[in-house]
Amino acid sequence: MHTKTTGLEALLPASLQGSDLLRQALTHRSAGQCHNERLEYLGDSALNFIVADHLFALRPQAPEGELSRLRAALVNQDSLARIARDQGMGTLLSLGDGERKSGGHRRDSILADALEAVIGAVYLATDFATTRDFVLRLYQQRFATLPSAEALKDPKTRLQEWLQRKSLDIPSYQVLEVTGKPHDQHFKAACHIKSCNISVIGEGSSRRRAEQAAAVKAFAALTHSEEPQFG
């Protein structure tokens, strides 16, 4: 049992703190039947709308595509998991024995889902205005440092566009190796650019992440840069 108040707990409305609803939001399905999946569904919908609405106000001149990419970058699993870690959520999760022993309190998917469930719980325990305030406080730093439109493009897209501008072959990708248990896999993928005689390997916890990592390395090799220009 934790004794130190986490960042998340400090942000929660008083009506939710210590409640059965909050306990459910922080309970993974491996820990019992009263788990957080329904709350996750509700929180995901509320989060997407709140973030979309706030971005619409922050970037009045931004086209739809840029707003969509910004929202996706803010509400994807990676971003949610980082916010959950920043708020100390790992210590609050209720997990089954298997998930706990395998490090489930550190797993991106579990942290991200739990944060969405907490947002859903805030909505049920209070109202939309309170939920919006809660989400905006969670995202305060990220809204203050929004990336540029170009930086929003993922590494594979930016690499391909760079090659096309120079009339060079577009890259091909190949998964070389998948290791680990189904819930905790590790991927190795290669990025090949035939006309440039470049073949590099990236690694990550999913096929997408491994290919993105390879794209970053390929761009660095193409530009002879020690520091990747994107990532």
DSSP one-letter string for 74-112 = HHSHHHHHHHHHHTTGGGT-B--HHHHHTTGGG-HHHHH
pLDDT score recorded for residue 64 = 93
Report the C-alpha gap between 100 and 77 in whole angstroms.
20
Q: Give the pLDDT confidence score for residue 151 in this predicted structure.
A: 72
Residue ranges, CATH 3.30.160.20, the chain: 155-223
Give SS3 for 82.
helix
- As a whole number of angstroms, the distance between CA 135 and CA 122 comes to 10
Whose tokens are 């008083």? That residue is: 14
Q: Would you give the distance in Å from CA 118 to the centre of its chain?
A: 16
Where does CATH 1.10.1520.10 sit in the chain?
7-144
CB 135 within 8 A of CB 119: yes
Please report, for residues 66, 157, 182, the alpha-carbon distance to residue 190 in angstroms, rounded to integers and kept in the order given: 29, 16, 21
Kindly state the average pLDDT of the residues 200-205. Answer: 93
Q: Which two tokens stand for residue 93?
A: 């999760």
CATH class, range 155-223:
alpha beta
Res 189 pLDDT > 80: yes
56-89 pLDDT, tens digit each: 999 999 999 889 989 998 999 999 999 999 999 9
pLDDT, one tens digit per residue, over 28-45 is 999 989 999 999 999 999
Tokens encoding 127: 């109202």
Q: Tell me which amino acid residue 186 is.
A: H
Residues of the binding site: 40, 113, 116
Give the domain 7-144 fold: Ribonuclease iii, N-terminal Endonuclease Domain; Chain A (1.10.1520)
Is 60 exceeded by the pLDDT of residue 170? yes
Looking at per-residue pLDDT, the higher value among 6 and 97 belongs to 97
> Binding site for Mg(2+): which residues?
40, 113, 116
53 has a pLDDT exceeding 70: yes
**3-class SS at 152?**
coil
Active site residues: 44, 116
**Bridging pattern class, strands 186-193 and 198-204:** antiparallel
| Residue 155, helix vs strand vs coil | helix
Percent of the chain past pLDDT 70, that is, above it, reads 94
